Structure 1
């Protein structure tokens, strides 16, 4: 335990949710303090608070006051460290803002290097694509093995997931897959166990699930192997279970601005004209949590995509959840994405160079 200088994780109530997410990603303390001009605490923000706000209809441009917890648990500077620790234990907290009698923030008490429990949930990484949109880079190197920062994309993914306590990995490989197998071996270097699933032909984003040697006993994660993200998979699994979903698909907010005035017609008459409107969508982020029984729907050794699986589950009137990703996320699908990832790596993932 230690008291942390809180200034780098403080924002004002009028700052945007987007600004809160930037602080969450860059400081990696999983909490933001919202303070007024007198440095008095008015609320706290975690990724869960942001996720709930987005599901309520707030946007990344909304003020953070619309997402913050207005009644956080705090410690007082005239209390002992034992009392602070007891407050955290009672509510399973990792962080405790410390304030004086006037509610002015003086520090953040937190558990540094918290031990993460070993997670039994399998991680299935889809690594068989040819990466055609990144040619010529992928002519001799599979996309997951392209270097971003000082290591392959896939190594960054594996290290981030392993840090969260996950140890059982399935690598679904096809195109130039031997390069992946040679680099990672059995996973011992990273403290994980890797089982390789060899696709003999393109099987889509879900087809390789029929090749899993064992039926998972717990909800499991399926993730594309070309994503850089700091998603908290433990939160995803918790969300999946709490909502009793068959599948939970991760989504990312995407805003598109029309560069023209949009005219709505009623017959031959103008009913409304909106100048350069913005439309907000949730887009598929390529990460899923599945309950084991969903595998019964996947055909054996055939091409099969995740949207098809989700459509079948919806047609059966089963629950499919949407989990907004509030952390950093980048789909490295095209050259501009690859170039942006190179710049982002130093900000979000540089510490992982020392892991493994």
Structure 2
């Protein structure tokens, strides 16, 4: 559990500046974090509620595309019991680049997440686990299976030495939610476009292996129309999972 001293410094950065190209036409008029889920909620609203319920006190929103709409919707964050501030990209900086200009405003350890993630992950436990690890980066991971719709051949010297009909491969994948330490940002100049993929490769090259936070609960990236549509169809069942703290408050 997070101690009271840690809870007073629990901060998250939400990356909400993307154009949501894969989710068009839904994102033609709305930034991706504001697309509706169910009848009453935007994705970002759910995330901010969850962070507040986990004990976070402050959030920085990295905005760009349709950023004024996000500012108008979120405001100062007080309706979630949060202090929300903003950083605005003048040019696209990918997923890590927006953090470089923030480094003096960030606590020693914090959470970074994409603004299009729906999950019941305990963000406080992720941050606590990362802090205890002493590492530069902790990646929340989920299990995913990928099926191959063909027979797969094992080849050696031009001969088939093995055969598997339509195999399924299982991987752990990044959920787009991270625990990070401020020192991780130190080697990079402000204004440098950098993605999490390159950051991980840089850390591996420096022999600083990131930590995996293995998660088994609900997670979906709504960046794909089919995933977004499925989340909407299932929201009646998902509501108690994603907004369980709100349900408890009503009891």
* Equivalent position SS for 1:349: helix
- 2:36 aligns with 147
Corresponding residue number in structure 1 for 2:147: 257
| Aligned counterpart for 1:327 among listed residues 174, 193, 217 | 217
Distance 2:87 2:56 in 1: 18
Q: Distance in 2 between matches of 1:198 and 1:269?
A: 56
Classify 1:127/1:262 alpha carbon distance in 2 versus 1 (closer, same or farther; 3 Å).
Answer: same
Residue 237 in 1 paired to residue 94 in 2? Answer: no
Q: CA deviation at 1:185?
A: 0.7
- Equivalent residues in 2 for 1:62-141, closer than 5 Å: 118-141=7-30
Deviation at 1:213, TM superposition (A): 6.2
- 8 Å contact 2:10–2:55 — kept in the other structure? no
List alignment gaps of at least 5 residues for structure 2: none
Partner of 1:304: 194
Matched, 1:290 2:180: yes
1:111-159 deviation digits (Å, cap 9, x = unpaired): xxxx9x8341210000000011111221111111111111111001110
Q: Secondary structure of the equivalent of 2:173?
A: strand
Q: Which residues of 2 match residues 184-203 of structure 1 at below 5 A? A: 184-203=74-93
Tell me the TM-score normalised to structure 2 length: 0.89
Conservation of the 8 A alpha-carbon contact between 1:215 and 1:292? no
* Rg larger in structure: 1
1:90-116 Cα offsets, whole Å, 9 max, x none, are xx8xxxxxxxxxxxxxxxxxxxxxx9x
Match of 1:111 in 2: none
- Given that residues 94 and 194 in structure 2 are in contact (C-alpha distance below 8 angstroms), is that contact kept between their aligned partners in structure 1? yes
CA shift digits 1:42-73 (9 cap, x unpaired): xxxxxxxxxxxxxxxxxxxxxxxxxxxxxxxx
Structure with bigger RCO (C-alpha 8 Å, 6+ apart)? 2
Q: Which runs of 5+ in 1 are unaligned?
A: 1-91, 93-114
RMSD: 2.2
1:42 corresponding residue in structure 2 = none
Give the C-alpha shift of residue 236 in structure 1: 1.3
TM-superposed deviation, 1:349: 2.5
Give the Å deviation of 1:342. 0.6
Distance 2:222 2:48 in 1: 16
Mapped contact 2:138–2:179 kept (Cα < 8 A): yes
1:244 and 1:319 in contact (8 A); partners too? no
Shift of 1:348: 2.3
Does the C-alpha gap of structure 1 residues 329 and 119 become closer, same or farther in structure 2, counting only changes over 3 Å? farther
Write the distance in 2 (CA, Å) between the matches of 1:219 and 1:319.
Answer: 17
